[in-house]
Amino acid sequence: MFSRINIIFLIRMMITFGTVLQTHAYYNIYDLIIDVKIMNLEQGLENSLVAKLERAEEALERDQQAVAINKLNSFINEVEAQRDKKLTERQADCLVSCANIVIRCLS
């Protein structure tokens, strides 16, 4: 049987489900920034990729999911442009996959 506290918690979760997904996406973006930074990429590429992810975080903080998704797609486009150039195939696959997961959380 559910206690009164559990029912209140469940109701709150139902009301804020969208916010929970958005918060989860925010933390995934943060993790993606860390992934980019530990790849030891050329400084210019690292700065560019991190800047796109930071703009996506800022958009989420302003509750602008569509803008965040656009910034993440811009990130993916840059990663794809650098595939087999400044990024290995494996690095690009990892970054694109993670970014797509965040996009799915926001969609």
The pLDDT tens digits for 67-88 are 999 999 999 999 999 999 999 9
| Secondary-structure class of domain 4-106 per CATH | mainly alpha
User: Rounded distance, CA 69 to CA 60, Å?
Assistant: 9
Does the pLDDT value for residue 20 go beyond 70?
no
High-pLDDT (> 90) share of the chain, %: 57
Q: Where residue 46 falls among pLDDT bands split at 50, 70, 90?
A: very high
The pTM of this model reads 0.76
Does the pLDDT value for residue 18 go beyond 80?
no
pLDDT at 24: 55
DSSP-assigned states of every residue in 3-62: -HHHHHHHHHHHHTHHHHHHHHHHHHHHHHHHHHHHTT--HHHHHHHHHHHHHHHHHHHT
89, amino acid identity: E
- Which class for 40: exposed (0-12), middle (13-18), buried (19 or more C-beta within 10 A)? exposed
pLDDT at 19: 46
